[in-house]
Amino acid sequence: MLIYTLKRLGLALIVMVTVSLISFMLLRVSGDPAISLAGEGASNEEIEFVREQYGFDRPLIIQYFEWAGRAIHGDFGNSPYLNQPVAQMLRERMGVTMTLGICALSFAMILSIPLGMLAAVRPNTWIDRIALSISVMGQAMPSFWFGLILIIFFGVYLRWLPISGSDTWRHFIMPTIALGYYATPAIMRLVRSGMMEVLASDHIRTARAKGLRWPKILFKHTLRNAIIPVVAVAAVQLGFMLGGSIVIESIFALNGLGNLAWVSISRSDLPVVQAIVLLLSTIYIFLTFMADLCNAFLDPRIRSS
């Protein structure tokens, strides 16, 4: 287990470095930051001044190492637009996005695991069909459009829920549904196919022959085995949802990382965008790392391979 952990950790670190390099280069190479920072209609001298001021005239690789070196210590520099430390801005917004992500994942799990189980136990019945339609529709529904429909229906027509802001828990209900619904299909399909596979295996037949009660077979013997791949997918989905929260947060005016990213992108506030990309990637890498460890803990076969 220790060797496996170390291997995974090493891989995670290399991925981390590569991702940081890519996110730095990608945003730097796609345009001249000095021109956008100097603003529209700036003279050549002004642009040159900004370029020297921020060190954009030095080789990219040196700029990267400086940036990465400071980023390790949690220092992402100042936002040129707001003249505020980027790290502080991220800290302030982090809570909202994490809350949203975790709520959305919980919503997706609460919806998809029971439905997936029911669908697996009663394949080709109406419950299976409902589960299937939910999953097929979830994959085809644009999440931002779903969010707007929720606003029209629950916010404006029924007037049950507030439509924007992040002050109370009630503000999080619609964003949670809009974002969580997106992750439901993947988890549900996995639970269904996993359950069906385990239900058809020999040890379940033995358990039934032994006369064990059905709920015990279902939860202790089947779900436990079928849930292993779900752990990994749930972690991956949480990562995707944090990345996708940019769309949902902008619709519901939630004051989180996604909203900050969107605002910063529209005013070309490069250091903030780079920091958010790096932060979200780090969270994703951390989540998959934890999921790998979790899987290895649950399933000894993974450890040895």
Partner 1 sequence: MTPIQQQQFDSGLGLDVVFPTPGQIMRQRMMTHKGFIIGGVMVLMVFMVAVFAPYIARHDPYHQDLSNRMIPPVWSETGTWDHPLGTDNMGRDYLSRLAYGSRISLLIGFSCMAIAAVIGISLGLVAGYFGGIADMIVSFIITVRLALPAVLVAIAVVAIIGGSKHVVIIVLGCLIWDRFAVILRATTQQIRAMDYVQAARAAGCSVIWLMVREIMPNLFNSIVIVATLEIGRAILLEAALSFLGMGIQPPTPSWGLMISEGKDLMLFDPYLVTIPGVALFFLVLGMNLFGDGLRDVTSPEGRS
Size of the site for partner 1 (CB under 8 A): 50
76 vs 284 by CB, closer to partner 1: 284
Structure tokens at 199: 């239900």
Q: Is residue 247 within the footprint of partner 1 (CB under 8 A)? A: yes
List binders of partner 1 among 148-177 (CB under 8 A).
148-149, 151-152, 156
Q: Which of 53, 125, 139, 201 binds partner 1 (CB under 8 A)?
A: 139
Q: Which of 1, 6, 9, 18 binds partner 1 (CB under 8 A)?
A: 18
Q: Smallest Cα–Cα separation from 137: which of 181, 190, 187?
A: 181
218 vs 283 by CB, closer to partner 1: 283
Q: How far apart, in whole angstroms, are the C-alpha atoms of residue 267 and residue 179?
A: 26
Place of tokens 């022959």: 209
Strand partners, 85: 78
Can you tell me whether residue 143 is helix, strand or coil? helix
Q: Which of 25, 27, 121, 293 binds partner 1 (CB under 8 A)?
A: 27
Q: How far apart, in whole angstroms, are the C-alpha atoms of residue 266 and residue 286?
A: 29
207 vs 236 by CB, closer to partner 1: 236
Q: Cβ(90)–Cβ(275) under 8 Å?
A: yes
Q: Smallest Cα–Cα separation from 295: which of 303, 283, 286?
A: 303
Q: Is residue 19 within the footprint of partner 1 (CB under 8 A)? A: yes
Q: Which of the ranges 12-20, 100-108, 213-221, 223-231 carries the binding residues for partner 1, by CB under 8 A?
A: 12-20
Q: Is residue 125 within the footprint of partner 1 (CB under 8 A)? A: no
From residue 46 to residue 75, the character string flagging contacts with partner 1 as x (rule: CB under 8 A) and all else as - is ------------------------------
Q: Which of the ranges 67-75, 114-122, 164-172, 270-278 carries the binding residues for partner 1, by CB under 8 A?
A: 270-278
List binders of partner 1 among 214-243 (CB under 8 A).
236, 239-240, 242-243
Q: How far apart, in whole angstroms, are the C-alpha atoms of residue 178 and residue 183?
A: 10
Residue 105 CA from chain centroid, whole number: 9
List binders of partner 1 among 181-210 (CB under 8 A).
none
Q: Cβ(125)–Cβ(137) under 8 Å?
A: no
Question: Phi and psi at residue 85, in whole multiples of 5°?
Answer: -60, 130
Structure tokens at 248: 């949902």
Q: Smallest Cα–Cα separation from 106: which of 227, 215, 237?
A: 237
Q: Which of the ranges 61-69, 76-84, 146-154, 294-302 carries the binding residues for partner 1, by CB under 8 A?
A: 146-154
Q: At what angle do helices 270-298 and 228-252 cross, to 10 degrees?
A: 160
78 vs 268 by CB, closer to partner 1: 268
What residues contact 277, with CB distance under 8 A and at least 6 apart?
Answer: 23, 27
112 vs 281 by CB, closer to partner 1: 281
Q: Point out which residues bind partner 1 (CB under 8 A).
A: 11, 14-15, 18-19, 22-23, 26-27, 30-31, 36, 124, 136-137, 139-145, 148-149, 151-152, 156, 236, 239-240, 242-244, 246-247, 250, 258, 261-262, 265-266, 268, 273, 276-277, 280-281, 284-285, 288
